[in-house]
């Protein structure tokens, strides 16, 4: 089981407006992550570029604070209906510059125009990632063409790439159609779950799923996600995913990024069971 002491926080959650963050705000998130004992970060490519068009500037800022970039988010063009992946190489190149061995792939489409083309696109992204010793985690979003763990598992299995896997966000896990599906998780191979994003979910879904996801996630342990059962299921299949807290909560963030980061760290380490430390990701090789 992955040790909850070793966390890589999603920097976007420490920004009041993650879609319009300036250099000072981005540096403040790195300061907050370092101050509260996070070992690494998951970074949006947007924030890397907002700090400086040269990714090495972001990388130096990260390493100067004793951190590392563990995940780069996100490749979105692999499932395009025209078969043209417009951001895959950009995301992979950035991960390479930052020394990250993991990227996230996600589709923002409500449905795939061609499911077979989407599988081929994901497989091709994984092949290009493998050349760089990088893993690709497919994130399922309840409102997207990949709405749940079962569909993410089916797509990655159809692609059949050893460095292709799944990102399990615990808010998405709770809100996926039909709710949590431990029977699906328990049937996956050990390497299928590459990343777990930690947050909680309220008992009743909000009227605006996207708004809830981006601004109203509870801290781990303050909602209804069964972290003990989830961790047990992951341990049962031998999974050792990267743990990346992703608590988007505008109310709690109002206290400032450092105070919020401390609350996130404490909540994650309390809610997620302790276990052995995972080995370093190797990009599927």
Q: How many whole angstroms separate alpha carbon 158 and alpha carbon 150?
A: 12
Q: Which residues of the chain have pLDDT under 50?
A: 276-285
pLDDT of residue 84: 83
pLDDT of residue 285: 40
Q: The tokens of 73 are what? A: 């988010």
Domains for the chain: give ranges and CATH numbers.
8-271 (3.20.20.150)
- Where do we find the tokens 């209906």? 81
DSSP state of 65: T
203, 224 in Cβ contact below 8 A? yes
Best CA proximity match to 65, nearest among 9, 13, 104: 9
What is d(CA 27, CA 35) in angstroms, rounded to the nearest whole number? 12
Token pair in block for residue 97: 């510059």
| pLDDT value for 206 | 86
Burial 246-260 (b: 16+ CB within 10 A, else e): bbbbeebbeeebbeb
pLDDT for 64-111, tens place per residue? 999 999 999 999 999 987 878 889 999 999 999 999 999 999 999 999
């Amino acid at each position: 089981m992955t040790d909850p002491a070793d966390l890589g926080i999603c920097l976007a959650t420490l920004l009041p407006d993650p879609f319009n963050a300036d250099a000072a705000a981005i540096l403040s998130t790195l300061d907050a992550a370092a101050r509260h004992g996070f070992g690494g970060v998951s970074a949006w490519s947007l924030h890397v570029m907002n700090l400086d068009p040269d990714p090495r500037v972001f990388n130096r800022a990260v390493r100067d604070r004793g951190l590392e970039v563990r995940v780069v988010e996100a490749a979105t063009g692999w499932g395009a209906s025209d078969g043209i992946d417009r951001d895959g190489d950009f995301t992979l190149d950035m991960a390479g510059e930052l020394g990250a061995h993991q990227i996230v792939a996600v589709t923002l489409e409500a449905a795939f125009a061609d499911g077979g083309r989407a599988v081929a696109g994901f497989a091709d992204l994984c092949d290009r990632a493998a050349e760089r010793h990088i893993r690709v985690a497919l994130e399922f979003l309840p409102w997207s063409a990949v709405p749940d763990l079962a569909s993410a598992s089916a797509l990655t299995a159809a692609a059949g790439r050893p460095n292709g896997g799944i990102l399990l966000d615990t808010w998405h896990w709770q809100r996926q159609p039909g709710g949590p599906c431990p029977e699906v998780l328990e049937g996956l191979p050990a390497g299928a779950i590459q990343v777990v994003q930690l947050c909680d979910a309220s008992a009743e879904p909000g009227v605006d799923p996207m708004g809830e996801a981006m601004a109203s996630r509870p801290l781990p342990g303050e909602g209804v996600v069964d972290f003990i059962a989830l961790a047990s299921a992951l341990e049962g299949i031998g999974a050792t995913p990267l743990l990346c807290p992703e608590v988007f909560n505008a109310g709690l963030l109002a206290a400032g990024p450092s105070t919020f980061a401390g609350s996130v760290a404490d909540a994650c380490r309390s809610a997620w069971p302790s276990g052995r430390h995972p080995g370093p990701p190797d990009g599927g090789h």
